C-alpha cells in the first residue's frame, strides 16, 4: 500500500509537468490580452448604457450608485476565471488555472485571489508572464498556475455554470471584494489630494 500512494503522486506530478512544460509565451500573452478584450467588451458597453441612462435621468443615478456599479464590473473582471478555473479566453486558447498543490482545478477563491493583482500591477503581470508564462504574481499569491487544457468553445461556460452549486466560499469572495475595493477606493482617494 505504501508504494501505491507515491506512484499516484508521481503520475499526477508527471501529468502536471507535461501540461505546464510547453506553454508558449506568445499564446499565453494572447490569452491574457484576449481575456482583457473580452471583459472590456462586456463591461464598456454596459457602462456606456448606464452613463447614458444617468445623463438622461440624473435623479435615478447617484454618485454612490455609480461607484457601486463600477466596482461591480471590477468584481466581474476579477472573477473571470471563476467557473472551473477557465475564463472565456482560456477556454478558447486551451489553458486552465490549477491548484499547484493538488493539480486540480483552482478553487473559485483561488481564482479570485490570483486576479486581485490585476488592478494594481497589470503591466508588471505582463512582464512576469514574458519571463514565466505559467505563473504571474497573482498565481504566487494564490498558489496556482496555468496549464494546457483542451480547447473549448465559449459556450462551454454555460454548461459549467449550470453545474455550479452555492458554497460558503462565494460569500467569502464577496466579503474579500468589499474589503479590497474599500482599500482600493481609500488609496485612490488619498492619491487624488
Does residue 135 sit within a domain? yes
Greater model confidence, 66 or 147: 147
Rounded CA-CA distance 31/114 in Å is: 16
The whole-number average pLDDT for the span 51-80 is 82
**Number of domains present in the structure of the chain:** 1
Its pTM stands at 0.74
CB-CB contact of 76 with 69 (8 Å): no
pLDDT of residue 17: 54
Containing domain of residue 89, as a range? 20-154+167-191
CA–CA distances in Å: residue 80 to residues 35, 56, 74: 8, 31, 10
- Residue 193's SS3 state is coil
pLDDT of residue 69: 83
Does residue 120 sit within a domain? yes
The whole-number average pLDDT for the span 125-140 is 90
Does residue 100 sit within a domain? yes
Rounded CA-CA distance 31/148 in Å is: 12
Does residue 56 sit within a domain? yes
- Residue 160's SS3 state is helix
Amino acid at each position: 500500500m505504501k508504494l501505491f500512494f507515491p506512484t499516484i503522486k508521481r503520475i499526477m506530478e508527471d501529468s502536471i509537468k507535461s501540461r505546464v512544460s510547453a506553454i508558449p509565451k506568445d499564446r499565453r500573452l494572447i490569452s491574457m490580452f484576449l481575456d482583457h478584450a473580452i471583459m472590456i467588451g462586456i463591461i464598456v458597453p454596459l457602462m456606456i448604457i448606464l452613463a447614458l441612462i444617468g445623463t438622461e435621468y440624473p435623479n435615478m443615478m447617484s454618485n454612490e450608485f455609480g461607484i457601486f456599479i463600477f466596482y461591480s464590473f471590477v468584481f466581474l473582471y476579477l472573477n473571470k476565471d471563476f467557473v472551473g478555473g477557465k475564463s472565456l479566453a482560456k477556454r478558447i486558447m486551451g489553458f486552465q488555472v490549477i491548484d499547484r498543490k493538488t493539480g486540480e482545478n483552482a478553487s473559485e477563491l483561488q481564482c479570485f485571489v490570483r486576479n486581485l493583482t490585476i488592478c494594481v500591477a497589470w503591466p508588471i503581470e505582463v512582464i512576469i508572464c514574458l519571463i514565466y508564462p505559467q505563473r504571474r504574481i497573482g498565481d504566487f499569491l494564490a498558489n496556482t498556475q496555468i496549464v494546457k487544457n483542451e480547447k473549448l468553445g465559449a459556450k462551454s461556460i454555460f454548461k459549467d455554470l449550470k453545474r455550479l452549486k452555492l458554497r460558503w466560499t462565494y460569500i467569502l469572495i464577496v466579503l474579500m471584494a468589499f474589503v479590497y475595493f474599500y482599500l482600493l477606493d481609500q488609496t485612490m482617494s488619498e492619491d487624488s489630494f
